[in-house]
Structure formats: structure tokens, C-alpha cells
DNA sequence: ACCTGAACACCGTTCAAGT
DNA sequence: ACCTGAACACCGTTCAAGT
């Protein structure tokens, strides 16, 4: 009755590139890119590390696959919205996805051969600008400006030493106490009169900058 | 005459935290962060790897020091320029510095305890906005928007698989040939009608986005 | 076709020992 | 006070061997 290979509760399914990538994303989400080692990934998959090489060429290939998987999670711009609404929604989704996978902010789906999800996403974003009345050049400008902003914002957010409002307050209090006020008066002022005010949350800055860029793009589009 | 410790041509000076950091930046510039290992850094300094630990607590501390050194290279906003000119100049300088040290785009001077150059730089940038008539809140918005954009742009630029115009053309040609036109029509159009046009250089996008943000900030300042 | 065990050439970091 | 040698617990990746 029992097959020679037992199928215990959490036992292995057949390995595949997708299953490898999925597990790798899970590991990186939990412990950062440093926590992702081939040996630990093997454990996660109930397999020896060396088996992984049957499904990815090497670690770089694995990370490229992970980056493409992350791109696949971003909401595509909707065809039924006007360009501004569509780009705004997908930009908010993009930031959420990067917040869920902070390690992905520092990883680029290899410029040389991007994955299918990455290509589709970029194509749809550029298409949204083009159908919204942007010239090819203006669409290139828009694409560059918006995505640079999102990546940079996600990176800043990730590197903050706090997340919850309570942590912010505690941390800012300490930093302010240590900060030589005479040497860094503006930093001290910003911390005391802005960061330490109740309700402060760095994430709220995202929409301010995004809308500023989108309004600028609208003006650029109308001018051309 | 000869001292017991010979001072051969490329021989060691006394080690110091600054000398360690300087050599580490050199290594990372040449080969990326992966090329920076304690053992190789030791070689570069004519010293065993373990000696480095007399001057930095560990590799993380070393990288924090490197990030602060990079911040020290950025031109501070001038007091004699109006806020827009001052921020524009220092933003261009910031991007140049990140292009010189591509590894620095993915490294943050630990949010928890930033170095002196980082603090001074941030203080001067915030001060430039405040003296330019921005409220504390508006200065925080401006700071976040501009620096997110610069970091993100530098990251995109770094991850491009080409640098010189000739490489761009060659690479774009290949990518366009491989790209299923029917599946990614807008990406194909952008590549053919924009990237492959003579004179294309991705770096030129930087000022487009930067000026768009600065104009938006000016409007925000005037509105408040 | 896929998985494994052993091995290679590396890592960061510690610690006791030297000067 | 600073530097070193040996060692520890890891890495990514290869290769021949198993099924």
C-alpha cells in the first residue's frame, strides 16, 4: 500500500522553476536577500541545494525570476480609466508590491533579458501614455519620471529604521535628543515640528510626490 | 639607516578608518559591492583581513562609512543661489556622484545612525527649502520627492545593460529583433522610434523629470 | 530526467597569540 | 595599541554517481 517514497504531510511536490521562485520570494520576504541561500532554499523545498540547479541556471537567474514574479503582482493600468487615473492606480499598486517585497527595490530584472511579466507591464504602461495623447518622446519621459520616483520612494521607505507611528515617535525622540541642534537646525526643526507631530507617517508622502509628477506630466502632454 | 620595518614603494601607511573606507570605495567602484570582501580589502591595504576589524566594527559599519563618504562628495546647495537653482545644482551633483559609485544606489546610510556628512547634507537641503519660503511640511514633501526621484533614476540608469550610444544602438537593435512586436507593440514602437534614433541617451531623461518636479514644487510653494 | 554526496574555492568573523 | 594565524561556520557551484 505504502509507496516506496512516503508522502508525509508537508512533503515535496515535484520541483519546478515556478515552485523554486515562489519559495525564494518567501524566504527573501521573511529575511531579506541575505537570508536567501541555496542551502536554505533547498530546506524550504525539502530537497538538497544542488537539486535547485536543475531548475535555475544559478542564483542570478533565480533572482531575475523573482524580480519578474514581483512585476507580475503589480496591477496593470486599466484600459477603461483615463491615463492619469490608470497610471495613478498602478503606481499605488507598484509601491504596495515593493513594500511587500522590500528586497525587490534593490534588484533589477536584468536589463539585458527581462521576464515576460516585466515586458508586459512596461508595454501596458507605455501604451497607456500613448493612448492618453502622449507623443513617443513624452511617453518615454513620463515612464522614466514616474518609475524612477516609485523605485526611489520604495527604497527610502524600506531603509527607514521604523514602521509603525509608535516606533517613529520613539525613534525620532531619540534622534532629536542626540542631534546637535546648533549644527543641524533644519533637521531638528523638521523632526520636532513635523515628524514628531501626531499622525505623521512617511508613507503619506508618496501621493504628494506622485500627484505632483502626474500634474506635471499632464501639463507636458497639453503643451506638446 | 634602514628602519626595521621596511618602507618599500607601495608599502603600508598606518591604517585608519578613513583609509579603510577609501580603499573599500575604490574596490566597490571597480567591481561592485560583490567584489568588496574583507580579504580583498586587506590585500588592497597590504594587511591581513583581520586587521581591518581594528578600525571598523564589521562589514555593515564599513558600508555605512562608505555611504557617508559618498554623501560627502555631493555638492552642497549654495547659499547664494535661489532655492530652485541651488537644489537643481546639488541634484545634478547627486546624480553624478551616484553614477560614479553605482553600488551606493542600493545602500542606505543606516537610517538609524547616519554619518556626519549625510546629516550635514540633509540639513542644508532642508534649510534651502525653508529659506526659499517652504513651510516645514512643504519642505518635507519637497525633500522626499526630489531625493526619491534621484535615487530611483540612478538605480534605473545603473541597471541599463549599456552605457555608450553605440552600445545602446547595438543592444536596442538586438532587443527589438527579439521582441514579439504583436505582443509588445508600444515597447517596440518606443525602441524603434525613440531609443534607436541617433542622439538618444537615457541620462538626458534626468533633467526632464527633475525640472518637472521642481516646477511642481514651485507651484506648491506659491499655493501655500 | 531529476536528485544527491562529496568536494572546491571562497566568505565574515572570533579569538588567542604575538609585537 | 595594533596586527596576525588558525579556526569556525558558513557560502555558490561543479561533478560524478545514483535512481
Share of chain B above pLDDT 70, in %: 93
Between B186 and B111, name the one with better pLDDT.
B186
The predicted-structure confidence for B44-64, as pLDDT tens digits, reads as follows 999 999 999 999 999 999 999
Task: Kindly report the average pLDDT of chain A as a whole number.
Answer: 91
Over range A188-207, report the average pLDDT: 94
The predicted-structure confidence for B198-222, as pLDDT tens digits, reads as follows 889 999 999 999 999 999 999 999 9
Between A199 and B145, name the one with better pLDDT.
B145
pLDDT at residue number B83: 98
| Number of Cβ pairs < 8 A linking chain A and chain B | 176
Q: Cα B150 to the chain's mean position, in Å?
A: 8
Given a cut of 80, whether residue A172 has pLDDT beyond it is yes
Length of chain A: 224
Cβ of B111 within 8 Å of Cβ of A152? The answer is: no
How many C-alpha atoms does A80 have within 13 Å on its Cβ side?
0
pLDDT at residue number A203: 94
pLDDT at residue number B144: 98
Cβ of B216 within 8 Å of Cβ of A217? The answer is: no
SS (H, E, C) chain A: CCCCCCCCCCCCCCCCHHHHHHHHHHHHHHHCHHHCCHHHHHHHCCCCHHHHHHCCCCHHHHHHHHHHHHHHHCCCCCCCCCHHHHHHHHHHHHHHHHHHCHHHHHCCCCCCCCCHHHHHHHHHHHHHHHHCCCCHHHHHHHHHHHHHHHHHHHHHHHHCCCCCHHHHHHHHHHHHHHCCCCCCHHHHHHHHHHHCCCCCCHHHHHHHHHHHHHHHHHHHHHHC
Whole-angstrom distance, CA of residue B120 vs CA of residue A182: 11
Measure, in angstroms, how far nucleotide C1 C1' is from residue A66 CA.
25
Output the CA–CA distances (angstroms, integers) from residue A68 to A108, A118, A151, B188, in the order listed.
9, 6, 15, 19
Q: Is the CB of A38 under 7 A from strand D?
A: yes
- A133 CB neighbours in chain B (<8 A) are none
Q: Which residue is nearest to nucleotide D6 (CA to C1')?
A: B50
The predicted-structure confidence for A36-78, as pLDDT tens digits, reads as follows 999 999 999 999 999 999 999 999 999 999 999 999 999 999 9
Smallest CA–CA distance, residue A86 to chain B, in Å, is 16
Nearest to B145 by CA among B219, B72, B203, B204: B219
Q: Which of residues 44-73 of A touch strand C (CB under 7 A)?
A: 47-48, 50-51, 53-55
Over range A144-168, report the average pLDDT: 90
Between B22 and A176, name the one with better pLDDT.
B22
Please report where in the chains the cell 502622449 appears, as a residue. Answer: A134
Whole-angstrom distance, CA of residue A75 vs CA of residue A64: 20
Cβ of A190 within 8 Å of Cβ of B215? The answer is: no
* Chosen from A190, A203, A220 to mutate, greatest number of chain B CBs within 10 A: A190
Question: At A4, is the pLDDT very low, low, confident or very high (cuts 50, 70, 90)?
Answer: very low
Among partner residues A123, A152, A209, which is closest to B141 by beta-carbon distance? A209
Given a cut of 50, whether residue A6 has pLDDT beyond it is no
pLDDT at residue number A110: 65
Between A114 and A92, name the one with better pLDDT.
A92
Neighbours of B149 (CB within 10 A): 28
Over range A176-186, report the average pLDDT: 91
For B110-119, b/e burial (b = at least 16 CB within 10 A) is beeebbebbb
Least confident of A85-99, A205-219, B107-121: B107-121
Per-residue DSSP letter, B75: P
* Chosen from A155, A157, A170, A192 to mutate, greatest number of chain B CBs within 10 A: A155
The predicted-structure confidence for B23-38, as pLDDT tens digits, reads as follows 999 999 999 999 999 9
Measure, in angstroms, how far nucleotide C10 C1' is from residue A65 CA.
25
SS (H, E, C) B110-176: CCCCCCHHHHHHHHHHHHHHHHCCCCHHHHHHHHHHHHHHHHHHHHHHHHCCCCCHHHHHHHHHHHH
Among partner residues B119, B137, B212, which is closest to A187 by beta-carbon distance? B119
Q: Which nucleotide is nearest to B35 (CA to C1')?
A: C11
Q: Which nucleotide is nearest to B54 (CA to C1')?
A: D2
Burial class (CB in 10 A: 0-12, 13-18, 19+), B137: middle
* Chosen from B33, B104, B155, B176 to mutate, greatest number of chain A CBs within 10 A: B155
**Farthest-apart Cα atoms in chain A, separation:** 79
Given a cut of 70, whether residue B7 has pLDDT beyond it is no
Whole-angstrom distance, CA of residue A191 vs CA of residue A179: 10
Cβ of A190 within 8 Å of Cβ of B139? The answer is: yes
pLDDT at residue number B110: 65
pTM of the model: 0.93
Q: Is the CB of A14 under 7 A from strand C?
A: yes
Over range B176-183, report the average pLDDT: 89
Given a cut of 80, whether residue B11 has pLDDT beyond it is no
Given a cut of 70, whether residue B9 has pLDDT beyond it is no
Tell which strand C nucleotides have any atom below 7 Å from a protein Cβ: 2-6, 10-16
- A58 CB neighbours in chain B (<8 A) are none
Measure, in angstroms, how far nucleotide C11 C1' is from residue B40 CA.
11
pLDDT at residue number A2: 32
Given a cut of 90, whether residue A8 has pLDDT beyond it is no
Task: Kindly report the average pLDDT of chain B as a whole number.
Answer: 91
pLDDT at residue number B61: 96
Whole-angstrom distance, CA of residue A29 vs CA of residue A195: 28
Given a cut of 70, whether residue A9 has pLDDT beyond it is no
Between A163 and B5, name the one with better pLDDT.
A163
pLDDT at residue number B13: 63
Over range B126-136, report the average pLDDT: 98
Amino acid at each position: 500500500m505504502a509507496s516506496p517514497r512516503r508522502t508525509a504531510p508537508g512533503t515535496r511536490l515535484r520541483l519546478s522553476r515556478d515552485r523554486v521562485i515562489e519559495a525564494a520570494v518567501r524566504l527573501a520576504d521573511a529575511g531579506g536577500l541575505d537570508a536567501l541561500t541555496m542551502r536554505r532554499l533547498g530546506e524550504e523545498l525539502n530537497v538538497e541545494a544542488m537539486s535547485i540547479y536543475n531548475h535555475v541556471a544559478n542564483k542570478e537567474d533565480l533572482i531575475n525570476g523573482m524580480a519578474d514574479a514581483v512585476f507580475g503582482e503589480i496591477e496593470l493600468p486599466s484600459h477603461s480609466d483615463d491615463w492619469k487615473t490608470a497610471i495613478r492606480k498602478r503606481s499605488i499598486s507598484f509601491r504596495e508590491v515593493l513594500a511587500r517585497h522590500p528586497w525587490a527595490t534593490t534588484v533589477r530584472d536584468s536589463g539585458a533579458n527581462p521576464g515576460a511579466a516585466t515586458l508586459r507591464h512596461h508595454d501596458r504602461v507605455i501604451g497607456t501614455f500613448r493612448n492618453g495623447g502622449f507623443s513617443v518622446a513624452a511617453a518615454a519621459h513620463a515612464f522614466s519620471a514616474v518609475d524612477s520616483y516609485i523605485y526611489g520612494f520604495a527604497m527610502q521607505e524600506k531603509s527607514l529604521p521604523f514602521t509603525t507611528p509608535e516606533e517613529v515617535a520613539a525613534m525620532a525622540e531619540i534622534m532629536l535628543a542626540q542631534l546637535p541642534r546648533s549644527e543641524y537646525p533644519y533637521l531638528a526643526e523638521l523632526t520636532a515640528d513635523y515628524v514628531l507631530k501626531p499622525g505623521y507617517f512617511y508613507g503619506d508622502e508618496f501621493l504628494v510626490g506622485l500627484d505632483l509628477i502626474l500634474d506635471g506630466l499632464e501639463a507636458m502632454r497639453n503643451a506638446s
